[in-house]
Structure 1
Amino acid sequence: MNKSVAVLEFSGILDGIKGNELRREVSNHVDNGTNVLLLDLKNVKFIDSSGLGALVSAMQMVRKTDGQLFVCSINDQVKMLFELTKMDRIFKVFADREEFNRQVVATQN
């Protein structure tokens, strides 16, 4: 099966408003047949509880369609938050897009 890959970028603070945007974008991609999504968070400075909820919701949407959701380029503060909330066990986090491409995209051809 040929996999469809999409990269979504977010910036600033991932809060309730940006979380709703994230859910909408993920939903649109899933509805259009994308089954591998990468959330590039290199420009996200902070994630609040609403943002964490949006990430979990996005993961659930993607998993319902047997898709995969990955995260890359998180800063130290977001990394610490992921570790404290055990989100690092839910999400596969890549250092950057290049690592994602090497480990996920290249293995699908």
Structure 2
Amino acid sequence: MLIHETIIDSIPVIALEGEVDLYNAKELKDILDSKIKTQQYEIVVNLAKVPFMDSSGIGTLVTAMYKLKKYHGNLKVCHVHGSVAKVFKLTGMESHLEVYADEAAAIQAIIAERDEIN
């Protein structure tokens, strides 16, 4: 799995490439934890190039989401497709994680939530 990081409108976007499974979910956890430690509480995770994700990958995303909520932050996921979308649906995670069609929609949702707060 490769991890690509960008910042769009001051929001960290983490784009994953390759399978996310038990063997590499810790890498994803570490990058999400590092964002939280540096007080980056609004994060977008792009799964456009992820053909497969097992329950450990989904668990990592859900855990990060709950950690971020402690700081009134949020985790948005985008480009969920194929077998990853099936796993989200089968596990019921689509009702817990906020899933968007693309990065722009996820970023706009974060910005809209910021505007509601202020």
What TM-score, normalized by structure 1, do the two folds share?
Answer: 0.86
Q: Aligned-pair RMSD on alpha carbons?
A: 1.9
User: 5+ unaligned residues in a row in structure 1: which ranges?
Assistant: none
| Residues 1:76 and 2:90 are matched in the alignment | no
Alignment equivalent of 1:44, drawn from 35, 42, 50: 50
Aligned residues: 107
User: Could you tell me which amino acid in structure 1 is paired with residue 47 of structure 2?
Assistant: L
Q: Secondary structure at the match of 2:18?
A: strand
What TM-score, normalized by structure 2, do the two folds share?
Answer: 0.80
Encode CA deviations 1:26-63: one digit per residue, 9 max, x unaligned. Answer: 11111111110111110111111221221222222222
Instruction: Return the structure number with greater relative CO, CA threshold 8 A, min gap 6.
Output: 1
Alignment equivalent of 2:100, drawn from 94, 101, 109: 94
Equivalent pairs: percent with the same residue?
30
User: 5+ unaligned residues in a row in structure 2: which ranges?
Assistant: 1-8
Q: Which 10-residue stretch deviates more, 95-104 or 40-49? A: 95-104
